[in-house]
A and B are shown apart, each in its own frame.
Chain A
Amino acid sequence: MYATTYHKPKTLAEAVKLYTNSDEPSYLSGGHTLIPTLKSRLAAPAHLIDVRNIPELFGIEVTADKVIIGSATKHAVVAASGEIKAAIPALSGLAGSIGDVQVRHMGTIGGSTANNDPAADYPAAVLSLDATLHTDRREIPAEDYFQGLYTTALEPGEILVRVEFKTPEIAGYAKFRNPASRYSMAASFVARHRDGHIRVAITGAGNEGVFRWTEAEELLTVNFSAEALEGLTIDPSRMMGDMHAPADYRAHLVAVMTRRAVQNLGGTHIL
């Protein structure tokens, strides 16, 4: 890792000011993607601005129809929250399936959502649960937020403050993990919202990162059951392919995981 200068601002305004006035800055949250990236010298920010001392970035609020989570909240805290488990068990289970125990003690929802790794878990929940991303300067609907691999609508210096999920009528999450890295090779988050609309978000598989599988949504709108998805396939040209799983295998997994998510509504199915 190259030399860098560390900052620990205590307010949002101070963090943004540091970012604006620094040459080659980067925000740091749990660091469980960023620090390995710095150690392998794939990035070399001159200034690291740690956001974990800013009080607005913490806290969980569960209302009648929303679950709102501060961006610096760790995965372990989300997974352990009884309130979240009662409101959206699939979201709670998703948080508890990220990485391993030690990773969940450091990694944060904001870090995962801001980084938008194509194999990260949270982006699937954000998109499927029709979330609103609150930043230091505006609100962004999930639909407009994800813009391709490691790319989001966040402007340089913009800080994700909290994620506001719509509590669905029911949701399920199914994930097939890479047996070595434990990252998703294909995962599907299926939600039926209270107004009846269905959202299916796929992570780990698409060559443009997380995406909505609209064909599956249409079939599930007519018949909300795994049987409705029998025979539905996805074009492998939309899939990532690598040494772990070629595109056609990932396409197959997307269909299987989506059916499994529907078969496991109200929880998760982690393989």
Chain B
Amino acid sequence: MSRITITVNGAPQTREVEDRTMLVQFIREHLGLTGTHVGCDTSQCGACTIHLDGEAVKSCTVLAVAADGSQVTTIEGLAEGGKLHDVQQAFREHHGLQCGYCTPGMIMASVDMIRRHDGMLDEHTVRHELEGNICRCTGYHNIVKAVLDAAEKHRAAHAVAAE
């Protein structure tokens, strides 16, 4: 057992965990944040994607003890003051989901993608960069539309900020 502190969505969380505990298990079972999903549990499907120190990773394949002292953002940490994050809003407007199981991972991967490319994305790049996230409803078409829309909003917001 180890005593670890991980800052999740801005709040430090200290728990006693078994060393074999995965980060996704820490998030879902120890903290009760069930927005992060477990799909394949083999680091292929991306449903468990969260941000670890600002980068999208698959939390089913990271030990919680190895994340001790880190900053984690989950799907619950994106909205601010009751206002959805632009990517969440875009998924809502474009119906970027069918059953919704993959959606938290898709959104976390998309936020990371838009940040890395500073919103400069085209359809080909979005489809390529989402290769680590699987939607078994095959609802990719609207997901891609949603990401492109959110990327455009990101570019517009930054252009305004630059003026």
Chain A residues within an 8 Å CB radius of B46: 100, 102
Please tell me if the beta carbons of B19 and A103 are within 8 angstroms of each other in the complex. no
Total contacting residues, chain B, CB less than 8 A: 29
> How many A-B pairs with Cβ below 8 Å?
73
Interface string of B54-66 (1 = CB under 8 A from A): 0111100111011
B2 close to A (CB within 8 Å): yes
A105-B55 contact given A31-B62, A100-B131, CB 8 Å threshold:
yes
Contact string, A89-125, partner B, CB cutoff 8 A, digits 1/0? 0000000000111110110000000000000000000
Taking a contact as CB atoms under 8 Å apart, the answer to whether B131 and A31 are in contact is no
The count of chain A contact residues (Cβ–Cβ below 8 Å) is: 27
Interface presence of B141 (CB below 8 A): no
Binds B, one of A3-11, A54-62, A236-244: A3-11
Chain B 121-140, CB-CB to A under 8 Å as 1, else 0, gives: 00000000101110000000
A interface residue numbers (CB < 8 A to B): 1-6, 8, 28, 31-32, 35-36, 38-39, 48, 50, 52, 76, 99-103, 105-106, 181-182
Whether B65 and A101, one on each chain, are in contact in the complex, defined by CB atoms closer than 8 angstroms, is no
A48 to B62, CA, bound (A): 13
Is B112 interfacial (CB 8 A cutoff)? yes
User: A99 and B65 in contact (CB under 8 A), knowing A1-B20, A2-B20, A5-B19?
Assistant: no
Q: How far is the CB of B26 from chain A (nearest CB, A)?
A: 13
Binary contact track B19-52/A, C-beta < 8 Å → 1, others 0: 1101000000000000000000111101001001
Q: Is B109 in contact with chain A by the CB < 8 A criterion?
A: yes
**29 A–B pairs (Cβ distance < 8 Å), ordered by A:** A1-B20, A3-B18, A3-B19, A4-B20, A6-B19, A6-B63, A6-B65, A8-B65, A28-B63, A32-B61, A35-B61, A35-B63, A39-B41, A39-B42, A50-B66, A100-B132, A101-B56, A101-B109, A101-B113, A101-B129, A101-B132, A102-B46, A102-B56, A102-B57, A105-B55, A105-B56, A106-B57, A106-B62, A182-B131
What is the distance, in angstroms, from A152's C-beta to the closest C-beta of chain B? 23
Bound form: Cα–Cα A6–B22 in Å:
12
Residues of chain A within 8 A of B133, CB atoms compared: 100
Are B19 and A102 in contact, with the CB atoms below 8 A? no
Cα–Cα distance between A3 and B63 once the two chains are bound (Å): 12
Q: 8 other contacts beyond A102-B109, A106-B62, with CB at 8 A cut-off?
A: A4-B19, A4-B20, A8-B66, A35-B63, A48-B19, A99-B132, A100-B46, A102-B43
